[in-house]
Amino acid sequence: MIDCDKARELIPWYVNKTLAEEEEREIASHLAGCSTCREELAQAISLSWKLDTAFDRMPAVPERVWEKVRTRAQGISLAQIDVGSFLLGLSLGLSVTRSGIPKFKSDLRLLGRKVALFNSSKGGLK
Amino acid sequence: MPGTHDLLARVARKDERAFHSLYTRYADRVFRYALTLLHNRHLAEEVTQETMLAVWKGAGSFSGRSQISTWIFGIARNQAHTLLRREIKGERRPDEALFLPDPAPAVEREERVLTAVGTLPEEQREIVFLAFYENLSYKAIANLLAIPEGTVKSRMYYAKQRLAEALG
């Protein structure tokens, strides 16, 4: 059996219906025999309703945010394929983005060091 | 209507329609949560944007150990705190009144409630939001905020007291 202090702690979550079954049973049993905590419950229900309604009146996210999210999500690279020949020292890269605009990149290796030749995402020839 | 888990699984496979549905389901809620934390619309927009992009990128890494909403609000909270640190470092400080009402005619009582919530310390505001608007359990809130369950309950206790005083 729980006491009033414990019941008061749990009442907000009794109101939002997220208590575990056992806690819910305990608090229901306490409330049945405690008018002070029933009053506390009534206040919590009223406050919960006021808060839910008030939060719901807060502004909605502006449409422009979706546009930004969509545009940036489309720009995130889906996959990258690299083909090349180590022996020839040449590597060609193709990465595909959600926008459907492929990005090409090629590198020439000279004595094991990469020399960037072309990167379409950075505006072309270097 | 598809379930949220189904939507998230499709987002992990880069299904754009599923992502739009998920965005529609969560963006306003994330925005309002960020607004509750930050008191600034511009920053709340930025948090919403970064959170939803993180969901797009990280849907495949969702472990399923928590509710999806707890996971998303956790991302939003991290984003909000990152932005807040940046603001406090001097680039720009939150400077807006918190609860600007929608352009639609405002209801006086709701404005009073939001004003009262706005006077609570941030740590109490977010608990009130997560419990009474998002209907999260105290365990889920403790998990999301990485604090003991007892702390969640005591913050709620003090928040309720202050709101009762303010609202009569």
Secondary structure element (H or E) that encloses residue B57, with its range: helix B41-58
* % chain A with pLDDT above 90: 56
Q: Does B66 touch chain A (CB under 8 A)?
A: no
Yes or no, beta carbons of B137 and A18 under 8 Å apart = yes
Question: What pTM did the predictor assign?
Answer: 0.78
Backbone φ and ψ for A92, nearest 5 degrees, come out as: -115, 130
Which member of B32, B41, B132 has the closest CB to residue A16?
B132
**Residues B60 and B136 reside in one and the same domain:** no
* pLDDT, tens digit, 9 for 90 and up, residues A16-44: 999 999 999 999 999 999 999 999 999 99
Between CA A104 and CA A94 the distance in angstroms is 5
* pLDDT, tens digit, 9 for 90 and up, residues B53-79: 999 999 999 988 888 999 999 999 999
Q: Which domain holds residue B86?
A: 1-96
In angstroms, what separates the C-alpha of A44 from chain B's closest C-alpha? Answer: 8
In angstroms, what separates the C-alpha of B88 from chain A's closest C-alpha? Answer: 24
Place of tokens 């809620």: B29
SS3 B66: coil
Yes or no, beta carbons of A12 and B156 under 8 Å apart = yes
Question: What pLDDT score was predicted for residue B84?
Answer: 85
Chain A nearest-CA residue for B136: A18
**Residues B113 and B166 reside in one and the same domain:** yes
Helix B122-132 crosses helix A4-15 at what angle (to 10 degrees)? 60
Question: What pLDDT score was predicted for residue A65?
Answer: 97
Q: Which parts of chain B register pLDDT below 50?
A: none
The domain that holds B150 is classified in CATH as: 1.10.10.10
Which value does ipTM take for this structure? 0.86
| Domain boundary, last residue among B53, B80, B96 | B96
- Residue with more model confidence, A119 or B123: B123
In angstroms, what separates the C-alpha of A116 from chain B's closest C-alpha? Answer: 28
Mean pLDDT of A3-14: 96
Q: Does B56 touch chain A (CB under 8 A)?
A: yes
Structure-token pair, residue B69: 């909403």
| Domain boundary, last residue among B96, B127, B147 | B96
* pLDDT, tens digit, 9 for 90 and up, residues A72-118: 998 864 544 444 444 445 544 444 554 444 554 454 545 445 555 54
